[in-house]
């Protein structure tokens, strides 16, 4: 009971922190605008700042809505037959650009012979995005992010690897818990800690499995397994 209560307190504190910072910035900008600004350029900058802060809050609100849907059992999938090779090749493009812009080495091996799989392409793109966002974010400049995929008779899989700080062995399961923040490594110091929770839940809703292997010295590997049966 004590652990549950501590989790609730930590979760509430995280939500207050994540929403409080942008709302504080918006409030300050609006206060200045109400008082009046003589310089049109300054007024424009303040308005753009408000818009940007609202945009930054949207992914957080989307994650909270998604988590609420999963808790209440309202997570639904729009399953369609997708050519995994084509889907991944397209879905990876923005993440490749982001990795290269940060100065990371990008490696991608997506065989053209991957089978067709029945997935919700939008939901699975969110899984891919969450995993690659973390990989790019936590891998230092000069490091490496790699994406591989393959298939057997019974399953298709794709894997995201990075050369970031890795995850402490004692926290390998905890990182999938809602609102988790690592106390041992710099891997998850910020944010609400919902990305991996949502990613695993989406994969499991597809009847699949999301696995993690990590070494604090060598980085992490997240593997999504999707059944072909």
Single out the residue in 71, 101, 122 at which a domain terminates.
Answer: 71
Q: What is the signed CA dihedral for 49, 52, 54, 58, rounded to 10 degrees?
A: -170
Question: HSE of 43 in the Cβ direction (CA atoms, 13 Å)?
Answer: 8
Classify residue 163 as exposed, middle or buried by CB count within 10 Å of its CB (0-12, 13-18, 19+): buried
Q: Per the structure, how many domains does the chain have?
A: 2
Residues 96 and 124 in one domain: yes
**3-state SS, residue 52:** helix
Q: Where are the beta strands (DSSP E) in 84-178?
A: 105-109, 116-119, 144-151, 155-162
Residues 58 and 146 in one domain: no
Residues 172 and 104 in one domain: yes
Residues 62 and 86 in one domain: no
CATH number at 96 reads 3.30.565.10
Instruction: Report how far residue 196's alpha carbon sits from residue 198's, in angstroms, rounded to the nearest whole number.
Output: 5
Residues 217 and 107 in one domain: yes
pLDDT reported for residue 104: 95
Tokens of 172: 């390998």
Residues 26 and 124 in one domain: no
CATH number at 41 reads 1.10.287.130
Residues 166 and 192 in one domain: yes
Single out the residue in 41, 71, 101 at which a domain terminates.
Answer: 71
Residues 89 and 145 in one domain: yes
Residues 109 and 175 in one domain: yes
pLDDT reported for residue 67: 60
Contacts by 51-58, CB closer than 8 A, 24 or more apart: 53/22, 53/23, 53/25, 53/26, 54/22, 54/26, 56/22, 57/19, 57/22, 57/23
pLDDT reported for residue 119: 95
Tell me, yes or no, if the pTM score tops 0.75. no
pLDDT reported for residue 1: 44
Residues 65 and 84 in one domain: no
- Domain containing 173 equals 80-227
* DSSP codes of every residue in 61-81: HHHHHHHHHHHTT------EE
Look up residue 92 and give its DSSP letter. T
Residues 11 and 32 in one domain: yes
Residues 84 and 61 in one domain: no
Instruction: Report how far residue 24's alpha carbon sits from residue 67's, in angstroms, rounded to the nearest whole number.
Output: 25
pLDDT reported for residue 70: 54
Profile the chain (229 residues) by mean pLDDT over runs of 10 residues.
53 64 80 84 85 74 62 72 94 91 94 94 88 90 96 95 83 68 51 71 91 86 93
Single out the residue in 26, 53, 71 at which a domain terminates.
Answer: 71
């Amino acid at each position: 009971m004590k652990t549950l209560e501590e989790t609730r307190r930590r979760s509430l504190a995280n939500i207050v922190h994540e929403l409080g910072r942008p709302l504080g910035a918006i409030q300050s900008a609006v206060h200045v605008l109400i008082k009046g600004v003589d310089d049109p350029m300054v007024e424009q900058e303040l308005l753009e700042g408000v818009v940007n802060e609202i945009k930054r809050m949207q992914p957080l609100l989307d994650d909270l809505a998604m988590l609420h849907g999963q808790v209440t059992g309202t997570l639904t999938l729009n399953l369609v037959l997708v050519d995994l090779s084509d889907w991944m090749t397209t879905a990876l493009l923005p993440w490749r650009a982001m990795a290269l812009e940060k100065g990371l080495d990008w490696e991608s091996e997506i065989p053209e012979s991957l089978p067709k799989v029945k997935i919700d392409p939008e939901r699975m793109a969110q899984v891919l995005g969450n995993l690659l966002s973390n990989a790019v974010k936590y891998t230092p400049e000069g490091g490496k992010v790699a994406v591989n995929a393959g298939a057997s008779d019974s399953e298709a899989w794709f894997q995201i690897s990075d050369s970031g700080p890795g995850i402490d062995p004692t926290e390998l399961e905890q990182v999938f818990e809602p609102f988790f923040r690592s106390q041992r490594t710099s891997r998850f110091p910020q944010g609400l800690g919902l990305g991996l929770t949502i990613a695993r839940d989406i994969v499991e809703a597809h009847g699949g499995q999301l696995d993690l292997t990590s070494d604090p010295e060598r980085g992490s590997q997240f593997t999504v397994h999707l059944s072909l049966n």
